């Protein structure tokens, strides 16, 4: 029985594979070259896929023994057998001369020269992933915290699609499409890539600081150098992670990323001699820097380091520098100014007080999101949470993005707490107190949704990344309503109708996410979808009246589909 010959495939870059386009195998390929935005054209090394070598490119040893040659110099077959790897250039010339000597054959461009130049450029820009070993840690982690001297810990990729292990934690180059960029232009590119998505990474700055960060201008004194290095560090991560088909804990560590990591760690935890040449870091910048550094290690999969940085931020707030931050945002004497309107321009902080509240809210939100996703107790001190609750109850007229999303997450945490505390046999006094908290929370969520919907509807005045975060705020608030209404769905038709309306609204907002948006969403969005579907299925099983009172099956299918797409891009997403 004859075996079929293995099909020869041309290699495909990561971006063309994701978009299901035919790739020409060049570096950069035609699709990446003519992309509307500057993208990174990278290839995944897969030794099981055969690539066609140009005629005459195989070495003499592989040719004589009729073995497969990889076209390298020396090739792996000769290295394994201990033979000298020699190539013959005369054979290529002789084969080409057969066609050129034929006077009746029209002249045609030589494919061999172009193919050889392509192979040479590929060998000069790609990394030998088989022989590469993981690099040493660029900065001694023992300096990051007293007594912490463990190497970077990478969490196992449970239930994730297969991915070449050689790419994980390996330092790889970052070839940019179109033309090779000089170092300064490349840093400008990654800085602004981070700034385009800074709301997803909770770095909300005043317009003047954002402009200085875009230019990398530290001479003006508006921004500290550590923020510039952090923007460049996470910018490299975004550029590298954008091309992934599915979530991995980094597709390798780029050289530029390693440089920025060393610079950030040196500024935050360097020796006094090194810090003597640096400007002093104020409390607000400390919080912003540690928040971004925490998110970097969380994306890296180093949860131990992320938890340690959260404890470090708590120490900053509770120390002398924290008093400076709290005084700046006026947390000690909060004036209640309720409002139902919020101009879209206030999504960014305008004053130092607003920026301080933004940095404080970002720290609180990260802990709230961790508690919602992992179902773990809060890491932050109760006094810090009480301070934020006073801020959330004030209904500031100049709300900004981090403050809005933190309030939304707090509503969902409080809703889950109320749901847990409810029992039909509560004492009259306990039931009265619980009912008061229940209706107060419903009223607060309703008012908050009206506030958030104002900039959400003003799409033409709102940045695209801001709209993405505002959708997350709405999903958190609606999930809190679903959780609260689900308590009384078995016995109250009005609660069932309100519950179904909230689930339908979650499905409507979820349909607004585009395919490219999921790589910027976090796992807590999946928690909102899980709550909506779980409470709906529980009510259906009790009532068996889903067609009359429950949300439509189309809405539930939409939520399930969105959750599945998020699960391909992020860890810790439960399957519905």
Could you give the CA distance from residue 557 to residue 536 in angstroms, rounded to a whole number?
A: 12
Using only C-alpha atoms, the chain has a radius of gyration, in whole angstroms, of 28
The reply to whether 327 falls in a domain is no
Q: What is the pLDDT of residues 250-280, one digit of tens each?
A: 444 567 888 888 889 888 887 777 777 788 8
Phi and psi at residue 8, in whole multiples of 5°? -90, 125
Distances (CA, A) of 124 to 72, 290, 409: 11, 37, 49
- Ranges of residues in the chain with a pLDDT under 50 are 1-8, 47, 49, 90-180, 244-252, 332-345, 460, 541-547
| 544 located within any domain | no
Do 286 and 148 share a domain, yes or no? yes
Q: Is residue 363 part of a domain?
A: no
Contacts of 37 by beta carbon, 8 Å cutoff, 6+ apart: none
Q: Is residue 465 part of a domain?
A: no
Residue 506's SS3 state is helix
| 384 within a domain of the structure (yes/no) | no
Q: Are residues 243 and 103 in the same domain?
A: no
* DSSP 8-class letter at 24: -
* CA proximity to 192, closest of 231, 135, 242: 231
Residue 526's pLDDT is 92
| Domain count across the chain | 2
Helix 352-374 / helix 320-329 crossing angle, nearest 10 deg: 110
Same domain, 194 and 78: no
182, 232: one domain: yes
Q: Are 111 and 52 in contact (CB under 8 A)?
A: no
Tell me, yes or no, whether 107 and 148 share the same domain.
no
3-class SS letters over 80-121 = HHCCCCCCCCHHHHHHHHHHHCCCCCCCCCCHHHHHHHHHHH
The whole-angstrom separation of Cα 477 and Cα 446 is 8
Residue 445 is assigned to a structural domain of this protein? no
In-domain check, residue 249: yes
β-pair partners for 253: 171
> Considering only CA atoms, which of 255, 282, 264, 275 is closest in space to residue 175?
255
The C-alpha atoms of residue 90 and residue 56 are separated, in whole angstroms, by 9
Looking at the structure, do residues 109 and 144 belong to the same domain, yes or no? Answer: no
Beta bridge partners of 40: 176
Residue carrying the six token digits 């810790």: 572
Residues 208 and 289 in one domain: yes
* Eight-class DSSP state of 222: S
Nearest-CA neighbor of 191 among 158, 237, 159?
237
- Alpha helix ranges (H) inside 197-282: 207-215, 225-241, 255-269, 272-275
221 and 88 in a common domain: no
Closest among 314, 267, 273, 261 to 291, alpha carbons compared: 314
Which residue, 282, 316, 350, sits at the end of a domain?
316
Residue 562 burial (10 A CB sphere; 0-12, 13-18, 19+): buried
Verify that 224 and 75 share a domain, yes or no.
Answer: no
Instruction: Quote the pLDDT of residue 149.
Output: 32
Domain boundary among 316, 338, 362: 316
Domain of 261, in residue numbers: 138-157+167-316
What is this structure's pTM? 0.65
Assess whether 213 and 84 both reside in one domain: no
- Alpha-carbon distance 207 to 214, whole Å? 10
DSSP 167-220: GTT-EE--PBSSSPPPHHHHHHHHHHHHHHTTTTTT----HHHHHHHHHT--TT
Judge whether 69 lies within some domain.
yes
The residue whose two tokens read 């982690």 is 141
Taking the alpha carbons at both ends of the chain, their separation in whole angstroms is 47
| CATH number, residue 78 | 4.10.240
> Is residue 201 located within the same domain as residue 278?
yes
Task: Indicate whether 85 and 225 sit together in one domain.
Answer: no
- Coarse DSSP helix, strand, coil percentages of the chain, rounded to the nearest 5 percent: 60, 0, 40
Element (H, E) at 254: strand 253-254
Q: What is the token pair recorded at 325?
A: 């931050």
Q: Which of 316, 339, 358 corresponds to the end of one domain?
A: 316
Is 192:177 a contact under the CB 8 Å cutoff?
no
How far is the C-alpha of 89 from the C-alpha of 111, rounded, in Å?
15
| β-bridge pairing 253-254 and 171-172 | parallel
């Amino acid at each position: 029985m004859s075996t079929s010959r293995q099909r020869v495939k041309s290699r495909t870059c990561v971006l063309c594979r994701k978009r299901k386009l035919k790739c020409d195998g060049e570096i950069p390929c035609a699709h990446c070259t003519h992309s509307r935005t500057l993208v990174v054209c990278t290839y995944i090394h897969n030794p099981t896929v055969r690539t066609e070598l140009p005629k005459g490119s195989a070495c003499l040893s592989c040719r004589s023994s009729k073995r497969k040659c990889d076209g390298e110099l020396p090739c792996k077959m000769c290295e394994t057998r201990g033979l000298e790897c020699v190539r013959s250039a005369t054979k290529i010339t002789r084969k080409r001369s057969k066609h050129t000597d034929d006077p009746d054959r029209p002249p045609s461009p030589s494919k061999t020269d172009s193919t050889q130049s392509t192979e040479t450029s590929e060998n000069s820009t790609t990394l030998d992933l088989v022989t590469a070993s993981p690099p040493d840690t660029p900065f001694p982690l023992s300096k990051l915290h007293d007594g912490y001297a463990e190497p970077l810990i990478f969490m196992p990729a449970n239930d994730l699609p297969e991915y070449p292990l050689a790419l994980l934690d390996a330092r790889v180059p970052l070839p940019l499409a179109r033309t090779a960029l000089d170092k300064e232009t490349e840093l400008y590119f990654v800085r602004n890539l981070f700034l385009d998505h800074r709301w997803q990474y909770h770095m909300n700055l005043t317009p003047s600081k954002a402009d200085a960060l875009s230019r990398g201008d530290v001479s003006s004194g508006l921004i500290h150098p550590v923020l510039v290095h952090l923007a460049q560090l996470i910018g490299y991560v975004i550029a590298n992670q954008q091309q992934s088909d599915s979530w991995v804990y980094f597709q390798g560590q780029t050289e530029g990323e390693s440089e920025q990591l060393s610079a950030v760690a040196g500024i935050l935890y360097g020796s006094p001699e090194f810090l003597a040449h640096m400007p002093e870091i104020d409390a607000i910048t400390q919080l912003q820097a540690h928040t971004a550094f925490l998110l970097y290690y969380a994306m890296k999969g180093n949860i131990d380091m992320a938890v340690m940085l959260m404890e470090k931020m708590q120490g900053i707030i509770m120390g002398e520098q924290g008093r400076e931050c709290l005084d700046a945002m006026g947390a000690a004497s909060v004036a209640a100014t309720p409002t139902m309107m919020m101009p879209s321009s206030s999504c960014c902080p305008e004053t130092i007080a607003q920026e301080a509240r933004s940095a404080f809210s970002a720290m609180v939100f990260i802990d709230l999101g961790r508690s919602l996703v992992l179902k773990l107790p809060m890491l932050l001190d109760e006094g810090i949470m009480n301070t934020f609750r006073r801020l959330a109850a004030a209904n500031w007229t100049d709300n900004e993005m981090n403050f809005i999303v933190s309030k939304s997450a707090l509503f969902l945490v409080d809703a889950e707490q109320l749901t847990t505390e409810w029992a039909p046999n509560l004492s009259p006094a306990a039931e009265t107190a619980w009912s008061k908290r229940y209706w107060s929370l419903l009223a607060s969520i309703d008012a908050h949704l009206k506030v958030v919907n104002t900039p959400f509807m003003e799409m033409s005045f709102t940045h695209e990344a801001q709209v993405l975060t505002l959708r997350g705020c709405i999903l958190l608030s609606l999930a809190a309503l679903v959780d609260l209404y689900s308590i009384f769905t078995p016995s109250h038709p009005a609660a069932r109708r309100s519950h179904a309306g909230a689930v339908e609204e979650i499905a409507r907002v979820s349909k607004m996410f585009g395919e490219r948006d999921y790589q910027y969403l976090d796992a807590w969005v999946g928690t909102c979808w899980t709550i909506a579907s779980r409470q709906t299925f529980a009510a259906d099983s009790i009532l068996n009246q889903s067609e009359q009172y429950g949300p439509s099956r189309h809405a539930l299918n939409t939520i399930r589909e969105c959750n599945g797409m998020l699960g391909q891009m992020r860890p810790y997403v439960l399957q519905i």
